[in-house]
Amino acid sequence: MGNEKIEGTPLEIDTAANERSAVIEIGGEEYRLILTTKATKEIAKRYGGLENLGNKLMNTKDFELALDEIVWLITLLSNQSILIHNLRNKDAKKELLSEEEIELLTTPFELAEYKNAIMASMKKGTKRHIESEPSKNEEVG
């Protein structure tokens, strides 16, 4: 009975997560791709690091393998927003997406478009905010 209400509620994640995400649509629903520390660790296990991921995606000559990698990444990154939602809303948890669901609910053309969203979420997730402090050796005048 309570399931209908849960299905209709948007994912509630924090503002910081929203700022470091890219939005895609899968099966008529929007999902946020977020590069979290957890996702970064999974990518490192699979590729040896974020820097190797770009090379792997761009240099894959085998079409099926390339699709598999994109589906895996979309599943990983889109599930981060669901995991954040579930962490913050223990009474209104949502199910994680599976690779099979993504394969059934998308087309190869959409997956190619999602590549840009994947890269955007990674760029936002690794963006550094560096503020410089005034030098202690500056003359005060």
Would you say residue 11 lies in a domain?
no
68 in a domain, yes or no?
Answer: yes
User: Model-level pTM?
Assistant: 0.73
Residue ranges making up the domain that contains 39 = 19-123
pLDDT, the chain, mean: 78
Residue 137 within any structural domain of the chain: no
Residue 7: inside a domain: no
Is 14 a domain residue?
no
**Distance set, CA 104 to CA 13, 71, 101, 108 (Å):** 26, 11, 5, 10
Residue 60 within any structural domain of the chain = yes
Number of domains comprising the chain: 1
Question: What's the Cα-to-Cα distance from 66 to each of 5, 35, 59, 61, 140, rounded to whole Å?
Answer: 37, 20, 9, 7, 58
Tokens of 17: 């997560």
34-90 residue pLDDT tens: 989 999 999 999 988 877 776 676 666 777 778 888 899 999 999 999 999 999 999
